[in-house]
C-alpha cells in the first residue's frame, strides 16, 4: 500500500494575500511575516513595496503610538515595521532609498521637539543606518541637501540612537572615495567643534556624555581605518581636527570655564584619554589576526601634549579642590570629601601623560609635585 504525503505547507500569509481587501496590519499580525519577508516571498514583497504600505511602515517607526494602548503591545507594530524595513531585502531597500517622499517622511522625525522617544529613535536610526550601508549614494546625496541635518542630529544627541547614526556615517560608507567625501562634508559642518561645545558646564549631563562618547568613537574608528588603509594619501579630516592643538585647547577651556562640574571634567577627560591612547586592541571581527590579540600602536601627536601642558596646574587644582560631592558615611566615620569621579579621571590622565614620556610634561608634573599629591591622596583614602 502506498500513501501520498503532501509535505508542502502553505503559509497563512499566502492565504491572506489571496484576499482582495487584506491590510498591512493583518499581515503584521502573523508571527512568520518577517521570516517570509527574509525568505523572499515574492507576493509578500510586492505587497509591502506598494506606496501605501511603505508609507504606513515609515509612519509606524516615526509616529508615537496612542498613549492609551497597553504598554506591553504599544510599540508592537512599530518594532515589526522596523524589522521589515531593515530586513535587507533589495526590493524594500530600493523602494525606501529611491523614493524621496519616503526619505522625507523619515527625515521629518528629526523635526520633533526633544526628547525623542528612545524606542522610535532607535527604529529611525536603524532604518537610516541600513540605508547608509545599502543605498549609500542615494541617502548621502539626500542628507547632504539638508542644510540643517547635523544641527537636528545634535539637537537630539541625548538619545544614544543619534550617536549611533553619526558613527554609521563615519564607518559604514563605501567605497573609500565616497567615505572621504562624507568625512569632508561632516568636517565642513564643524561636527567635531560642535560636539566639543556640548561638553561644557551647564549643558545637560546626558548630552555631554553622548557627545564625549561620540568623539571617543570617532577617534578610535578613524585611527583604525587609517591603520587599515596606510597607502591612502588622504588624511581623515575629522581626526586631523580632533588632534589639533586648537581643538584640544577649546575642549580644555570648556572644561575649566566658569563653575567646574564633575560631568564636564569627566567627559572632557575621557576624550583626552582617548587621544592619548598609544595601544589598542582592534575592533572585533575585522581580521583574524586582530582577534588573536594583535594590538595596533599609535603615536601621540605633539599638538595634543602642547595643548594639555598649560592646563596641568588646573588638573592639579582639581585634585586639591574637586567639584563638591555629598559626604559618604563609612564604617570608620563620615568621609567629607570623597575621591569622586573627577579626581579619579585626573589620576588616569596623569598616568596616560607619563606614558608618553614627553620631557616637558614630566618636568611640569614634577614642578607641581603632582605625584606626591596623588600618593598622599591614595594613602588618605586607604586609611
Tell me the pLDDT tens digit for each residue of 71-90: 778 999 999 999 999 999 99
Tell me the Cα Rg of the chain: 26
Neighbours of 140 (CB within 10 A): 19
What is the C-alpha separation between 305 and 65, in angstroms, rounded?
51
Average pLDDT rounded to a whole number, residues 214-223 = 95
Structure confidence by residue, pLDDT tens digits, 320-331: 888 765 555 555
* Grid coordinates belonging to 101: 517622499
Predicted local confidence at residue 180, as pLDDT: 94
Nearest-CA neighbor of 170 among 110, 207, 214, 234?
Answer: 214
What does the alpha-carbon distance between residue 310 and residue 316 come to, in Å, rounded to a whole number? Answer: 11
For the beta carbon of residue 122, count every other beta carbon within 10 angstroms.
Answer: 19
Integer CA distances (angstroms), 212 to 2, 207, 219, 376, in order: 71, 8, 11, 30
SS3 281: strand
**Among residues of the chain, what percentage have pLDDT more than 90?**
69
DSSP string, 212-253: HHHHHHHHHHHHHHHHHTTT--S--HHHHHHTSHHHHHHHHH
pLDDT of residue 374: 85
Nearest to 222 by CA among 298, 154, 295, 294: 298
Q: What are phi and psi of 331, to 5 degrees?
A: -65, -30
What is the distance between the alpha carbons of residues 160 and 209, in angstroms, rounded to a whole number? 10
Residue 4 vs residues 1, 7, 11, 204, 294: alpha-carbon distances, Å? 10, 9, 21, 70, 59
The secondary structure element, H or E, covering residue 329 is: strand 328-330
Provide the pLDDT for residue 372. Answer: 87
Q: Write down the mean pLDDT value for the chain.
A: 87
Segment 211-218 shows an average pLDDT of 97
d(CA 364, CA 368): 6
- What are 269-293's pLDDT values in tens digits? 999 999 999 865 544 444 343 444 4
Mean pLDDT, to the nearest integer, of 361-376?
Answer: 89
Confidence (pLDDT) at 377: 55
Which strand (E) or helix (H) includes residue 81? helix 76-85
The Cα–Cα gap between 135 and 214 comes to 24
Cβ-based neighbours of 273, under 8 Å, separated by 6 or more: 345, 348, 349, 352
Mean pLDDT score, 23-40: 94
Amino acid at each position: 500500500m502506498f500513501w501520498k504525503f503532501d509535505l508542502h505547507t502553505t503559509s497563512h500569509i499566502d492565504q491572506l494575500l489571496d484576499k482582495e481587501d487584506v491590510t498591512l496590519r493583518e499581515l503584521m499580525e502573523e508571527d512568520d511575516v518577517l521570516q517570509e519577508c527574509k525568505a523572499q516571498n515574492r507576493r509578500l514583497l510586492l505587497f509591502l513595496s506598494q506606496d501605501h504600505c511603505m508609507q504606513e511602515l515609515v509612519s509606524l517607526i516615526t509616529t508615537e503610538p496612542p498613549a492609551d494602548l497597553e504598554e506591553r503591545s504599544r510599540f508592537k507594530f512599530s518594532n515589526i515595521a522596523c524589522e521589515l524595513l531593515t530586513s535587507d531585502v533589495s526590493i524594500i531597500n530600493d523602494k525606501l532609498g529611491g523614493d524621496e517622499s519616503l526619505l522625507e517622511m523619515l527625515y521629518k522625525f528629526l523635526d520633533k521637539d526633544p526628547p525623542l522617544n528612545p524606542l522610535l529613535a532607535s527604529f529611525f536610526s536603524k532604518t537610516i543606518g541600513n540605508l547608509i550601508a545599502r543605498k549609500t549614494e542615494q541617502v548621502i546625496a539626500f542628507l547632504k541637501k539638508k542644510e540643517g541635518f547635523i544641527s537636528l542630529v545634535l539637537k537630539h544627541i541625548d538619545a544614544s540612537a543619534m550617536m549611533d547614526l553619526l558613527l554609521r556615517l563615519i564607518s559604514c560608507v563605501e567605497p573609500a572615495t565616497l567615505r572621504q567625501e562624507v568625512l569632508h562634508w561632516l568636517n565642513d559642518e564643524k561636527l567635531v567643534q560642535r560636539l566639543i561645545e556640548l561638553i561644557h558646564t551647564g549643558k545637560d549631563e546626558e548630552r555631554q556624555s553622548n557627545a564625549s562618547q561620540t568623539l571617543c568613537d570617532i577617534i578610535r574608528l578613524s585611527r583604525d581605518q587609517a591603520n587599515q588603509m596606510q597607502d591612502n594619501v588622504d588624511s581623515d579630516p575629522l581626526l586631523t581636527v580632533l588632534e589639533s592643538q586648537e581643538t584640544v585647547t577649546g575642549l580644555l577651556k570648556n572644561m575649566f570655564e566658569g563653575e567646574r562640574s564633575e560631568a564636564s571634567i569627566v567627559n572632557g577627560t575621557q576624550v583626552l584619554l582617548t587621544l592619548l591612547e598609544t595601544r589598542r586592541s582592534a575592533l572585533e571581527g575585522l581580521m583574524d589576526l586582530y582577534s588573536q590579540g594583535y594590538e595596533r600602536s599609535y603615536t601621540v601627536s605633539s599638538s595634543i601634549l602642547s595643548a594639555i601642558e598649560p592646563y596641568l596646574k588646573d588638573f592639579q587644582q582639581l585634585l586639591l579642590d574637586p567639584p563638591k560631592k555629598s559626604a559618604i558615611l563609612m564604617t570608620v566615620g563620615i568621609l567629607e570629601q570623597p575621591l569622586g569621579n573627577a579626581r579619579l579621571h585626573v589620576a588616569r590622565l596623569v598616568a596616560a601623560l607619563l606614558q608618553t614620556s614627553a620631557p616637558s610634561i614630566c618636568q611640569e608634573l614634577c614642578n607641581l609635585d603632582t605625584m606626591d599629591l596623588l600618593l598622599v591622596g591614595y594613602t588618605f583614602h586607604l586609611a
